[in-house]
């Protein structure tokens, strides 16, 4: 029997029961149905892991390894990403971007960029499926392309291609957003 699909969720919200979590859970429910429950999910909470921010020291340009990896176990995260079939980046929009702890996690993928693309010879492989899930407070979709651009670069470094996106806006007022609408959006993802 083939192994269950390994799904790794890189979770960027400080709220474990907020809108980003609701939307992510709804997405995972749909995926679970599609895969007939043949899947295992692991969450990495960026606010708990507290990965250290990139120093721009460029040591990874030559070594391919970040100087912080041993200190904050980022190397274990890279290993998990390598093992995963699907990597979900789930985040609220903070000032048009990712919240700082998730941004730190993302920036540390520079060590992969350094060895893959620095000499211009890197091969942009898509070995794993990437999913971007995001929520924002305002009644607009204008922030999501910015997150998608950053997520695309992050995924590129890790041989992941963005296969799906799922966004929900207008969460500022609980009266604005209905869970049933979020459910419908999750169902609409191909």
- The residues binding ligand FMN (CB under 6 A) are 13, 15, 18-21, 92-96, 135-138, 143, 171-172
Residue 112 tokens read as: 């992969």
Least distance in angstroms from the C-beta of 38 to ligand FMN: 28
Cα-flanking dihedrals φ and ψ of residue 166, to 5°?
Answer: -145, 120
**Is there a contact between 111 and 60 (Cβ–Cβ < 8 Å)?**
yes
Least distance in angstroms from the C-beta of 78 to ligand FMN: 25
Least distance in angstroms from the C-beta of 149 to ligand FMN: 15
Beta carbon nearer to ligand FMN, 26 or 158: 26
| Dihedral angle sign, alpha carbons of residues 128, 159, 108, 60 | positive
Beta carbon nearer to ligand FMN, 95 or 121: 95
Give the containing element (helix H, strand E) for 59. Answer: helix 59-63
Beta carbon nearer to ligand FMN, 44 or 66: 44
Point out the residue whose Cβ comes nearest to ligand FMN: 18
Which residues lie below 8 Å from residue 83, measured CB to CB, with a gap of 6+? 6, 8
CB atoms within 10 A of CB 74: 21
Least distance in angstroms from the C-beta of 80 to ligand FMN: 22
Which residues lie below 8 Å from residue 1, measured CB to CB, with a gap of 6+? none
Beta carbon nearer to ligand FMN, 35 or 146: 146
């Amino acid at each position: 029997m083939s192994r269950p699909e390994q799904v790794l969720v890189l979770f960027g919200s400080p709220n474990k029961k907020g809108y980003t979590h609701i939307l992510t859970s709804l997405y995972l429910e749909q995926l679970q149905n599609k895969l007939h429950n043949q899947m295992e999910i692991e969450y990495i909470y960026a606010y708990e892991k507290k990965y250290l921010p990139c120093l721009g020291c460029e040591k990874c340009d030559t070594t391919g390894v970040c100087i912080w990896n041993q200190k904050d176990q980022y190397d274990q995260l890279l290993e998990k990403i390598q093992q995963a079939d699907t990597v979900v980046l789930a985040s609220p929009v903070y000032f048009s971007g990712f919240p700082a702890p998730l941004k730190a996690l993302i920036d540390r993928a520079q060590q992969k960029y350094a060895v893959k693309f620095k000499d211009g010879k890197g091969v942009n492989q898509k070995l794993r499926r990437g999913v971007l899930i995001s929520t924002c407070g305002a009644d607009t979709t204008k922030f999501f392309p910015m997150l998608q651009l950053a997520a695309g670069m992050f995924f590129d470094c890790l041989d992941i291609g963005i296969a799906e996106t799922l966004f929900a806006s207008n969460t500022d007022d609980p009266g604005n957003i209905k869970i049933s609408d979020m459910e419908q959006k999750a169902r609409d993802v191909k």
